[in-house]
Amino acid sequence: MVDQAQKEFRTRDLLYSIALWFLSWLIPDPQLHYRREYKFKKRDLFYLSAVLVFPLIWPDPHIHHLMVLAGIHGILALGLTLFLGYAGQISLGQAAFFGVGAYTTAVLTTRYGLPSFLAFWASAIMAAIFALLIGKPLLKLKGYFLALATLGFGEIFLVLVRENASLTGGVIGIFNIPFFSFAGFTFDTYLKQYYLIWGVLTGLVLFSKNLVRSKMGRACLAVASSEEGASALGIDVAWIKLGVFTVGAAFAGLAGSLFASVMSTANPETFSLNLSVLIVMMVVLGGMGNLYGPIAGAIFLTVLIDRLSRYQEYSLPLYGVILILLLIFFPDGIGTRLRVRLIYLISYFGRKKRREKVNL
Amino acid sequence: MEAFISSTLFFLTNDPDEETIQLKTMELFAPLPQLFTSGITFGAIYALVGLGFVTIAKASQMINFAQGEFVMLGGMLTFFLFKEIQLPYLLSAFLTIPLVMLIGCLLHLLVIYPLRKASLPILLMATLGASLFLSSASALLFGTLPKALPPFINRPPIDIGPISISLQSLWVVGATCLVLLFLYLLSHRTLLGKAMEASSTDPLGADLSGISRHLMIFIAFGVSAGMGSLAGIFITPIFYVSYHSGTLIGLKGFIAAILGGWGKHSGAILGGFVLGVVESLSVAFMPSGYKDAIAFVVLLLILYLKPKGILGSPFIDSRRW
């Protein structure tokens, strides 16, 4: 009886599946990485066109500036999600690599007059070198201790920046960093910067998509689920962790370089612990183990902070409360929980009708 | 560092007259005893904060990154009660401790308990979010200006030879000893302490023998908040306490607890004193701006060379890390 009812085809099932299909365009699927091979799908096209069209249909400079910031945060969160979401390690030192990138660009362009395009790549390489040097000893640690050790690296970086005033400008920082320019084209308005940042972000998303599906990406997932199991399968756990950490740091270095050339300043207040916490929060709220989630989380949190800043001194306590509530009610990411809820709601009506039929 | 290098260079370049060298070394080492005593004071504070971390770790193996905020709240609330409401000093201090314990218990009820099944990054983020909330809310309630209380007993510092010891630092060291005694009695002489320890070392076993693990963690949060507030009350006469000073003190207390041996009361005490003395002696050899980095350098060294800490740790290499 039950089997018969389930096999029976009804036209209204099409309606539910159309809704689910539309949903699958909009909300990323966290289980994608073990379900099927990646192909360039309609959803990617949808996101790409949304990114391209967005500033044209909403021509507000403030929003453009906000989205520039969100894009930079998105690059940072994308770098961290490879480490936190895929390899399952936690790092609170991402802001330090961001700072390394920003200061590399600032020093190279203002002191040595290097073109910003070269400084852009130099910052990524510099951040990667830093990550290799400190990752080698630190990545033996796990859990809370890894978090604390990376946090310690961030604090040491801040102290070094503050004290070496001859190189980094101390507490005041470096000003008048030239805008990013490539082949004679200067990115000096918010709209141009928007396309610069989101163009870089698109490239990095494509890179990460390939990385996640490569041998290294699959090894990362194995390391995240069990380190002993992964090493029993012949995966060099220490090397994989170090590699992912370095890639994440290089992403942060790129983001830092873009930040320095977009904002034209670099000062140590920007790269404090608060930024690291914010980045981890973006990854956690976006949902760990998928690539679009952290970017959505970055946009969400950047806009949230901007909206909260109008409440002046109440903004920080409100921000803390909202973060805790989000963590309590959406512990595996807003997108993931929302998707599950929506699927449940949509299929609920279908199941209800079917149940009544069977009971009769 | 630059000052140190330049002073060494000064030795090398100038004529190596023995008397001058002796004089220079005298100048370099003259403030060391004084720095050592102030290091002991700092160390006692780090030890108090580290004991708070250990108390929670003994009950649940989790780390509460909002621990430093309890210290800040202890100082701020005492200042508020003493200066704004104009209660007597002793009464406001004694009122602060239960208030902060209440905040600690509320933190467990509202943040940690709903997340009891969450994974590590989420728990970490939640405690960091709580820390952000507590510090910014106290900035809102008590103002952003740094605050200082008068010392407990207004007497000039005691001079012993070249060093002078302020009475307040004696108070701090005494309080650390008292708290250590209290914790020793709690964990070795009472059933409650044993139940707390059981719930962290073997959660399933604790459940089977009828121990309510969440109640134990709840009590541990209360106790550690009380200890944090005690540290805050004792240090506010020595340093200025402002709304954002909690984070750094909390982190240094945590480093002290790891340095001595994570999960041991004696480890937190030893680590606190070692960290305080090292940090304060470093001022003699380096520009004081680097002082905050010393603790983290010590942390990285200890985690790399001897993750179990000086006295060894019962928790490391167990299930969660």
Structural tokens at position B282: 């470093």
**What global pTM score does this model have?**
0.83
**ipTM surpasses cut 0.85:** no
pLDDT band at A76 (very low <50, low <70, confident <90, very high): very high
The pLDDT value recorded for residue A80 is 92
Closest approach of chain B CAs to the CA of A164, in angstroms?
10
The model's pLDDT over B10-31, given as tens digits with 9 standing for 90+, comes to 444 445 556 665 666 666 666 7
- Residue B83 within a domain: yes
Distance, in Å, from the CA atom of A270 to the CA atom of A96, rounded to the nearest integer, reads 10
Residue of A nearest to B255 (CA): A148
Handedness of CA B5, B10, B13, B16 (dihedral sign): negative
Could you say which of 1.10.3470, 1.10.150, 3.30.70, 1.25.40 is the CATH number of the domain covering A31-331?
Answer: 1.10.3470
**Res. B100: pLDDT tops 60:** yes
Q: Which long-range contacts (CB under 8 A, 24 or more apart) does B277-280 make?
A: B277/B36, B277/B39, B277/B40, B277/B43, B278/B39, B279/B39, B279/B42, B280/B35, B280/B36, B280/B38, B280/B39, B280/B42
Tell me whether residues A324 and B126 touch, CB distance under 8 A.
yes
Domain boundaries, chain A: 31-331
Nearest by CB to B287, which of A140, A163, A273? A163
A111 sits in the region (left: phi over 0; alpha: psi -120 to 50; else beta) called alpha
| Contact assessment for residue A80 and residue A150, using Cβ atoms and an 8 Å cutoff | no
The pLDDT value recorded for residue A292 is 85
The model's pLDDT over B133-169, given as tens digits with 9 standing for 90+, comes to 999 999 888 888 888 888 777 777 777 777 777 778 8
- Residue B220 within a domain: yes
- Residue B260 within a domain: yes
Q: Which domain holds residue B228?
A: 35-151+188-305
Tell me whether residues B299 and A321 touch, CB distance under 8 A.
no
Residues 6+ apart with CB under 8 A from A255: A72, A73, A75, A76, A79, A98, A101
- Write down the mean pLDDT value for chain A: 83
pLDDT band at A352 (very low <50, low <70, confident <90, very high): low
Tell me whether residues B296 and A327 touch, CB distance under 8 A.
no
| Contact assessment for residue A89 and residue A83, using Cβ atoms and an 8 Å cutoff | yes
**Using the 8-state DSSP alphabet, how is residue B80 labeled?**
I
Which is nearest to B120 in space by CA: A47, A190, A146?
A146
Structural tokens at position A295: 């970017």
Residue of B nearest to A165 (CA): B289
The pLDDT value recorded for residue B310 is 83
pLDDT band at A124 (very low <50, low <70, confident <90, very high): very high
Give φ, ψ of A266 to 5 degrees.
-140, 115
| Contact assessment for residue A32 and residue A24, using Cβ atoms and an 8 Å cutoff | no
The pLDDT value recorded for residue B320 is 39
- Residue B317 within a domain: no
The pLDDT value recorded for residue A1 is 45
The model's pLDDT over A245-293, given as tens digits with 9 standing for 90+, comes to 999 999 999 999 999 988 888 888 888 888 998 999 988 888 777 788 8
3-state secondary structure A62-99: HHHHHHHHHHHHHHHHHHHHHHHHHCCCCCCCHHHHHH
Tell me whether residues B126 and A319 touch, CB distance under 8 A.
no
**Res. B173: pLDDT tops 60:** yes
The model's pLDDT over A24-46, given as tens digits with 9 standing for 90+, comes to 666 555 555 444 545 566 778 88
CB proximity under 8 Å: A 117-176 to B: 137-138, 140-145, 147-149, 151-153, 155-156, 159-160, 162-163
Handedness of CA A139, A143, A145, A147 (dihedral sign): positive
The pLDDT value recorded for residue B2 is 46
Is A322 exposed, middle or buried (CB count within 10 Å of its CB: 0-12, 13-18, 19+)?
A: middle
Give φ, ψ of A141 to 5 degrees.
-80, 165
| Contact assessment for residue B236 and residue B283, using Cβ atoms and an 8 Å cutoff | no
The DSSP H or E segment spanning A182 is: strand A181-182
The pLDDT value recorded for residue A24 is 62
- Residue B291 within a domain: yes
The DSSP H or E segment spanning A181 is: strand A181-182
- Residue B229 within a domain: yes
**Res. A115: pLDDT tops 90:** no
Distance, in Å, from the CA atom of A27 to the CA atom of A40, rounded to the nearest integer, reads 16
B109–chain A Cβ distance below 8 A for any pair? no
CB proximity under 8 Å: A 28-87 to B: 84
**Cα–Cα separations (whole angstroms), residue A131 to A211, A260, B215, B294:** 18, 20, 42, 20
pLDDT band at A303 (very low <50, low <70, confident <90, very high): very high
Residues 6+ apart with CB under 8 A from B236: B74, B75, B78, B79, B147, B148, B149
| Contact assessment for residue A139 and residue A146, using Cβ atoms and an 8 Å cutoff | yes
Tell me whether residues B121 and A144 touch, CB distance under 8 A.
no
- Residue B98 within a domain: yes
- Residue B288 within a domain: yes
What string of DSSP letters covers B107-173? HIIIIITTTTT--HHHHHHHHHHHHHHHHHHHHHHH-SS-B-PPPSS--PPEEETTEEE-HHHHHHH
Residue of B nearest to A154 (CA): B296
Handedness of CA A143, A145, A151, A153 (dihedral sign): negative
3-state secondary structure B176-217: HHHHHHHHHHHHHHCHHHHHHHHHHHCHHHHHHCCCCHHHHH
Distance, in Å, from the CA atom of A143 to the CA atom of A139, rounded to the nearest integer, reads 10
Distance, in Å, from the CA atom of B259 to the CA atom of A259, rounded to the nearest integer, reads 37
The model's pLDDT over B191-243, given as tens digits with 9 standing for 90+, comes to 888 888 888 888 888 889 988 888 999 999 999 999 999 888 888 888 888 88
More confident residue, A288 or A200: A200
**Using the 8-state DSSP alphabet, how is residue A271 labeled?**
G
Residues 6+ apart with CB under 8 A from B209: B198
Amino acid identity at A188 = D
Into how many domains does chain B fold?
A: 1
- Write down the mean pLDDT value for chain B: 83
Tell me the range of A2-6, A314-318, B60-64, B130-134 where mean pLDDT is highest: B130-134
Which is nearest to B246 in space by CA: B39, B70, B127?
B70
Section A172-197 average pLDDT: 82
The DSSP H or E segment spanning A269 is: none
A288–chain B Cβ distance below 8 A for any pair? yes
**Res. B286: pLDDT tops 50:** yes
